[in-house]
């Protein structure tokens, strides 16, 4: 126990060394080489900009967070329901799965302009985009999780007269939870990124919009400030889902 | 001879099945649009979209080639660097603990925001998009290479070591081949990601590429042209994915029954 906590503390310390090292290097490079702001502003300037503009950035962040979180949950729900439905219908699955894989190899951002035309530039289009991106990932993870059952366990349950529905609920769904949760965890960062990417193409507010405006005004300190905020939110989101996963998928 | 033919048959069958599925989707698309009378603004007929590509094939071919080269360049360098990182991290725990968290943070930076900066650094060149594609590729490959190497049975490592295998030989003959299935999982994921990076990178004022075609069609509200660009991007994505999957079947033949 103490050996383990010692090891995890070592990991933490080493990780902190890396992060502090980069920040120091960055600050030193920006100051000593006197880099122009558009190449690389110093960390302290970026942080100062965040403090100075905290109201504006916070409002933008709230909007992006809402889009990312709403899309994340909608997409996860649809992905899981579809995966269960397809597992119950092997025939439909054989036809639909190759199509889903083909659709998935089209980059999500290619749909972004279309979704914007359909749903307008408000938050709805971003929520739809995030839901599509998250939905696919969670769907594919849930599907392969549902398949990850011992054939013999299925046969055993069937020989005891379990209905197909019972086999799904009692055996396949619990077996699929770890992989589905992993799919949701990797989707958190993606949700933020997709929300921001879509905002840049057209929006009424949000971090992506802030970044786009700042690029147009060649205000690169503001670009970096928004990047920092977006990155921090992604980390918190990721950490939160990760924590929930550790608590509820404890057997993994 | 007949054994080879029998081995070929499933592959041919799956290609045939894929082609059949594609035809069914195409027929369904065309039929449903005509039957339900959906406004072309939402979903134009497939034949109309294909016609519009056939009218100005040059723009689509040029866009395809440009985006493909950006993606491929970033993807290949990202794959090589990713495997290299994974190998280095597996050898030095300390290096991994210092650098890995930085990689994680780097991946939370929205690519497109980063894209603005990258385009500024490298100009509006193929290189800028390749850098973005690279940035999205190297991380999953690093993670999966490391995971693959670490999940090798330590008894196998001990055995080889007891026969006097050097570190290099151990890596080449046991650890890397054992990690290959996992590396390919990451490569398949990365081919979609690198294409995404290349397309988004083109949004910062380039003139050629699929991302440019998408953006122009959106600004002019030309839904047919938009769908045409999406279809071509899809063609690029599936071709790329198919090639990586093919390479996987060839190099990871012992896992063929799993996928």
Tens of pLDDT, residue by residue over B172-203, are 888 888 888 888 888 988 888 899 889 988 88
Q: Please report residues of A whose CB lies closer than 8 A to that of B123.
A: none
Contact A79, A146 (CB under 8 A): no
Assigned domain for B167 exists: yes
pLDDT per residue as tens digits for the range B96-127:
888 888 888 888 887 777 787 888 788 888 88
Query: A39 and B101 in contact by Cβ < 8 A?
Result: no
Q: Please report residues of A whose CB lies closer than 8 A to that of B191.
A: 105
Contact A51, A221 (CB under 8 A): no
Question: How far apart, in whole angstroms, are the C-alpha atoms of residue A47 and residue A222?
Answer: 10
Question: How far apart, in whole angstroms, are the C-alpha atoms of residue B241 and residue A193?
Answer: 22
Q: How confident is the model at residue B7 (pLDDT cuts 50, 70, 90)?
A: low
Task: Report how many helices (DSSP H) and strands (DSSP E) chain B contains, helices first.
Answer: 11, 0
Assigned domain for B123 exists: yes
DSSP class of residue A53 equals T
Average pLDDT, chain B: 84
Supply the CATH number for residue A71's domain: 1.10.3720.10
Residue A164 backbone phi and psi in degrees, to 5 = -55, -40
Assigned domain for B210 exists: yes
pLDDT in tens, chain A (252 residues): 455 567 778 878 888 888 888 889 888 888 888 888 778 888 899 999 999 989 999 999 999 999 999 999 999 999 999 998 888 888 888 777 777 777 777 888 888 888 988 898 889 999 999 999 999 889 988 888 887 777 787 788 878 877 777 777 777 888 888 888 888 888 888 898 889 989 988 888 889 899 888 888 888 888 889 989 988 998 888 888 888 888 877 665
pLDDT score, position A252? 54
Contact A165, A106 (CB under 8 A): no
**Tally of domains in chain B:** 1
Q: How confident is the model at residue B11 (pLDDT cuts 50, 70, 90)?
A: low
Supply the CATH number for residue B75's domain: 1.10.3720.10
Contact A122, A157 (CB under 8 A): no
Question: How far apart, in whole angstroms, are the C-alpha atoms of residue B160 and residue B170?
Answer: 7
**Owning domain of residue A62:** 45-248
Assigned domain for A24 exists: no
CB-based contacts of B229, cutoff 8 Å, min separation 6: A110, B60, B63, B210, B213, B214, B217
Query: A106 and B230 in contact by Cβ < 8 A?
Result: yes
Assigned domain for B11 exists: no
DSSP class of residue A205 equals S
DSSP class of residue B124 equals S
Assigned domain for A165 exists: yes
Exposed / middle / buried, residue A180 (Cβ in 10 Å: 0-12, 13-18, 19+): buried
Assigned domain for A217 exists: yes
Question: How far apart, in whole angstroms, are the C-alpha atoms of residue A239 and residue A149?
Answer: 29
Nearest CA to B62 out of B210, B217, B254, B226 is that of: B210
Assigned domain for B190 exists: yes
Q: The tokens of B197 are what?
A: 């990076």
Assigned domain for A228 exists: yes
Q: Among B49, B110, B147, B227, pick the best mutation site for testing chain A contact (most A Cβ within 10 A).
A: B110
Question: How far apart, in whole angstroms, are the C-alpha atoms of residue B232 and residue A55?
Answer: 42
- A40-A41-A44 Cα angle (round to 5): 140
> What is the residue-wise DSSP string for A4-18?
HHHHHHHHHHHHHHH
**Owning domain of residue B80:** 57-258
pLDDT per residue as tens digits for the range B44-88:
888 888 888 888 888 899 999 999 999 999 999 999 999 999 999
pLDDT per residue as tens digits for the range A88-124:
888 888 777 777 777 777 888 888 888 988 898 889 9
Assigned domain for B118 exists: yes
How many pairs of residues across A and B have Cβ atoms under 8 Å apart? 137
Assigned domain for A15 exists: no
ipTM: 0.78
Assigned domain for A63 exists: yes
pLDDT score, position A1? 47
pTM, two decimals, is 0.82
What are the angstrom distances between the C-alpha of A219 and each of A26, A43, A226? 19, 15, 11
Question: How far apart, in whole angstroms, are the C-alpha atoms of residue A231 and residue A188?
Answer: 12
Assigned domain for B4 exists: no
Q: Please report residues of A whose CB lies closer than 8 A to that of B137.
A: none
Assigned domain for B21 exists: no
pLDDT score, position A81? 92
Q: Please report residues of A whose CB lies closer than 8 A to that of B111.
A: 193, 197
CB-based contacts of A142, cutoff 8 Å, min separation 6: A79, A80, A83, A84, A176, A179, A180, A183
Contact A226, A165 (CB under 8 A): no
Nearest CA to B199 out of B228, B230, B172, B173 is that of: B230
**Tally of domains in chain A:** 1
Question: How far apart, in whole angstroms, are the C-alpha atoms of residue B150 and residue B166?
Answer: 18
């Amino acid at each position: 126990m103490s050996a383990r906590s010692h090891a995890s503390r070592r990991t933490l310390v080493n990780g902190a060394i890396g992060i502090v090292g980069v920040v120091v290097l960055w600050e030193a490079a920006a100051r000593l080489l006197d880099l122009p702001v558009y190449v690389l502003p110093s960390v302290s300037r970026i942080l100062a900009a965040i403090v100075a503009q905290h109201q504006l950035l916070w409002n933008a962040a709230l909007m992006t967070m809402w889009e990312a979180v709403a899309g994340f949950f909608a997409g996860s729900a649809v992905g899981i329901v579809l995966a269960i439905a397809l597992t119950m219908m092997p025939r439909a699955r054989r036809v639909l799965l190759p199509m889903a894989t083909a659709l998935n190899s089209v980059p999500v951002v290619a749909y972004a302009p279309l979704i914007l035309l359909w749903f307008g530039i408000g938050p709805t289009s971003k929520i739809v985009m995030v839901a599509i991106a998250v939905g696919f990932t969670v769907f594919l993870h849930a599907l392969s999780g549902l398949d990850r059952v011992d054939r013999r366990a299925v046969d055993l349950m069937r020989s005891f007269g379990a209905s197909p529905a019972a086999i799904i609920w009692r055996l396949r769904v619990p077996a699929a939870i770890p992989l589905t949760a992993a799919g949701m965890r990797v989707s958190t960062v993606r949700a933020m990124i997709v929300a921001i990417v879509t905002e840049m193409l057209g929006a009424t507010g949000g971090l992506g919009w802030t970044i786009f405006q700042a690029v147009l005004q060649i205000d690169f300190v503001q670009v970096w400030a928004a990047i920092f905020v977006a990155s921090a939110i992604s980390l918190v989101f990721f950490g939160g889902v990760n924590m929930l996963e550790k608590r509820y998928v404890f057997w993994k | 001879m007949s054994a080879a033919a029998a081995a070929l048959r499933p592959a041919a069958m799956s290609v045939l099945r894929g082609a059949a599925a594609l035809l069914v989707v195409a027929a369904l698309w065309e039929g449903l649009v005509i039957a339900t009378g959906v406004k072309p603004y939402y979903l134009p007929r497939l034949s109309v979209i294909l016609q519009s590509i056939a009218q100005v094939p040059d723009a689509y071919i040029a866009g395809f080639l440009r985006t493909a080269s950006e993606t491929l360049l970033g993807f290949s360098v990202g794959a090589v660097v990713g495997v290299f990182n994974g190998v280095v991290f597996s050898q030095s725990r300390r290096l991994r603990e210092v650098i890995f968290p930085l990689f994680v943070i780097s991946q939370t930076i929205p690519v497109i925001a980063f894209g603005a900066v990258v385009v500024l650094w490298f100009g509006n060149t193929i290189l800028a998009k390749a850098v973005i594609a690279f940035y999205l590729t190297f991380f999953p490959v690093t993670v999966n290479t490391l995971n693959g190497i670490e999940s090798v049975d330590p008894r196998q490592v001990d055995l080889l070591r007891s026969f006097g295998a050097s570190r290099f030989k151990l890596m080449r003959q046991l650890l890397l081949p054992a990690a290959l299935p996992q590396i390919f999982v990451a490569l398949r994921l990365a081919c979609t990601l690198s294409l995404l990076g290349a397309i988004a990178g083109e949004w910062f004022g380039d003139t050629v590429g699929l991302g440019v075609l998408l953006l122009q069609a959106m600004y002019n509200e030309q839904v047919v042209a938009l769908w045409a660009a999406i279809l071509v991007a899809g063609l690029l994505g599936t071709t790329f994915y198919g090639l990586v999957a093919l390479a996987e079947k060839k190099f990871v033949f012992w896992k063929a029954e799993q996928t």
